[in-house]
Amino acid sequence: MDDNGQHNEDDTVDTDSSDDDAIGPIEESEFVEYGIEDKPPLAESIFLGFQHYLTMIGATVAIPLALAGALGMLEAAPEQVGRLIGTFFIVSGIATLGQTILGNRYPIVQGGTFSMLAPALAIIGVLGTQGADWQTMLLYLQGAVIVAGLTEIVIGYTGVMGWIKQHMGPVVIAPVIALIGLSLFNAPQIVDPNFSAPGTGQNWWLLGLTLALIILFSQYLDQYSRAFRLFPVLLGISAAWIIATVLSVGGVFSADSTSFVDLGSVLSASLIQPVYPFQWGVPRFELAFAIGMIAGMLASVIESFGDYHSVARMAGRGAPSPRRIDYGIGMEGIGNTLAGVMGTGNGSTSYTENVGAIGITGVASRYVVQIGAIVMIIVGYLGPVGQLFATIPAPIIGGLYIVMFGQIAAVGLSQLKYVDLDNNRNVFIIGFALFSGLAVPAYMSNIGQGVDAGASTVFQQGLSQVALIGPILGSDVIATTLFVIGSTGMAVGGIVAFFLDNTIDGTREERGLAEWEKITEDDSEFQSFLQRWRSSDDETTPTGAD
């Protein structure tokens, strides 16, 4: 590849145009090193795939650890925590392969979702008052996730989201994507001094070191070495991680520090850990629990809708067609159902971090993401490797998050280039949606503050506050849905922007819909896996054959 970002004839990249199903009209995207259809050499792809997943590791480890703490596994069954983390890895790998092969075919990683963590904590809180043990709680969580997954399958493959897409333009999509990044500014790995151990405080120099290294490699040194351009995240995190490990072994970081690297947990982990369907037992089903989990799933659907557009934008492709969105959401439903069957206690959705990873590394290859998914499946069964990931200090993850989440917010705002920003209508809608997407979740998170209780009790406090709005809207089902969606910034901002953009007068040109249509692929441009298989089969059938 030359200095202008163009592939030279000598570059060993297999673009395999026969596999290209025309993922939207191609836009300018000079920083992209590998496009969606590109296939880097296998060895390079393994490192690139590992790096891609490394940017998601914060959520992949944080969610099972949060669940394990709420379930009481850390005290009652500490030997099972690594197995739970491994289950998340395996589900993430399988769901990612499903999405990139059978779903929307974007280079987008699938994994656990914070949107479904809130209702999970509420379910745990209710069962905890009944004296249920961790395994019983996990079985009820599995049942709720399975129901939510099946519901999402229906939403996807019946075309609901594709229909909504026809009424959404950049005035709606821009604040949704921007809020994905902005709403994560207070991630615990960034601002919570008690994330790892109460009272130990955030290690700002380790966070700053990670941040500085990633910026140095990706923005300043990228023009001097291809390695810096392709592996800024892997190099930055590895360097900071090694330094933290040395200081931990040397006794500079104590065991209760947020920066401590516990190598002992790696050495004590089982070499092979069994992970299989229904490993904790037969799932149990409760309607009220399922409703709460469905509310979390709906919030994640809105987030994924924005993720699809932002990944397409980062990869230099046009906006996804309604049909591609439907297949993507439908496949996420299958991933959710798989998560319930395997026993994560949480769902599966598109990782927002994926957008930032593409922006930082310039790698948008579907092949690379698939290689990374295979690596994650293997890692899920290897106890020491999975436990090694869990030793990455929170400040290092925080430094990574600052870079990625800022990139995501900027990608959202870049969608506004199609909109007439001299029109007060558009400025009002965008500003109001952004503010609502930050203010309403902040209010929801403040409900119950000062109560000496866990997150599940705070969640119940929130429901009681929402229930004050009336006998119908205040019912348990509606209150649960309102609270979960109201706690999700991109859901609030998206709903507000969608309503205003479709009710306040404005021409298609002012709203950016005319330009939007030009860069949006037609439904006919997206071929499902079955269609591609039939097409390739027809091409190989000899003339005159039956």
Mean pLDDT of 537-546: 54
Looking at the predicted structure, is the pLDDT value of residue 128 above 90? no
pLDDT for the residue numbered 546? 41
In a domain? residue 4? no
pLDDT for the residue numbered 121? 77
**CA pair distance 108, 104, nearest whole angstrom:** 9
472 near 417, Cβ under 8 Å? no
One-letter amino acid for residue 291 of the chain? I
Measuring CA to CA, which residue among 453, 392, 413 is closest to residue 195? Answer: 392
Here the tokens at position 215 are 């910026």
Which phi and psi angles does 519 have, rounded to 5°? -100, 0
**CA pair distance 389, 352, nearest whole angstrom:** 19
Element (H, E) at 350: strand 349-350
In a domain? residue 514? no
Here the tokens at position 275 are 């992970």
Instruction: Write b or e for each residue in 14-26: b if 16 or more Cβ atoms lie within 10 A of its Cβ, otherwise e.
Output: ebeeeeebebbee
**CA pair distance 489, 445, nearest whole angstrom:** 11
Mean pLDDT of 216-223: 89
Q: How far is CA 459 from the centre of its chain?
A: 22
| pLDDT classification of 538: cutoffs 50, 70, 90 | low
Q: Exposed (0-12), middle (13-18) or buried (19+): which is 395, by Cβ within 10 Å?
A: buried
**CA pair distance 234, 228, nearest whole angstrom:** 9
Element (H, E) at 412: helix 394-414
In a domain? residue 376? yes
In a domain? residue 444? no
260 near 253, Cβ under 8 Å? yes
pLDDT for the residue numbered 357? 85
Mean pLDDT of 427-444: 91
Measuring CA to CA, which residue among 448, 451, 443 is closest to residue 487? Answer: 443
To 10 degrees, the CA torsion angle through 376, 219, 105, 103?
Answer: 60
| pLDDT classification of 139: cutoffs 50, 70, 90 | very high
Measuring CA to CA, which residue among 208, 230, 229, 212 is closest to residue 50? Answer: 230
- Of 544 and 519, more confident: 519
Looking at the predicted structure, is the pLDDT value of residue 58 above 90? no
Tell me how many domains the chain contains.
Answer: 1
Residue corresponding to tokens 């929170």? 394
Q: Is the pTM of this model over 0.85?
A: no
| pLDDT classification of 2: cutoffs 50, 70, 90 | very low
| pLDDT classification of 353: cutoffs 50, 70, 90 | confident
pLDDT for the residue numbered 335? 96
Looking at the predicted structure, is the pLDDT value of residue 452 above 80? no
Mean pLDDT of 350-379: 89
Looking at the predicted structure, is the pLDDT value of residue 61 above 90? no
Tens-digit pLDDT profile for residues 154-181: 999 999 988 888 788 889 988 888 887 7
Mean pLDDT of 391-400: 85
Which region, left, alpha or beta, applies to residue 504 given φ > 0 means left and ψ of -120 to 50 means alpha? beta
In a domain? residue 219? yes
**CA pair distance 408, 434, nearest whole angstrom:** 14
Q: Quick check: helix, strand or coil at residue 349?
A: strand
Residue corresponding to tokens 């974007």? 106
Tens-digit pLDDT profile for residues 64-96: 877 887 888 877 887 788 889 899 999 999 999
pLDDT for the residue numbered 450? 38
In a domain? residue 509? no
Averaged pLDDT of the chain? 81
Here the tokens at position 386 are 């999975």
In a domain? residue 430? no
In a domain? residue 204? yes
Of 61-65, 294-298, 380-384, 542-546, least confident by mean pLDDT is: 542-546
| pLDDT classification of 276: cutoffs 50, 70, 90 | very high
Domain housing 329: 28-421
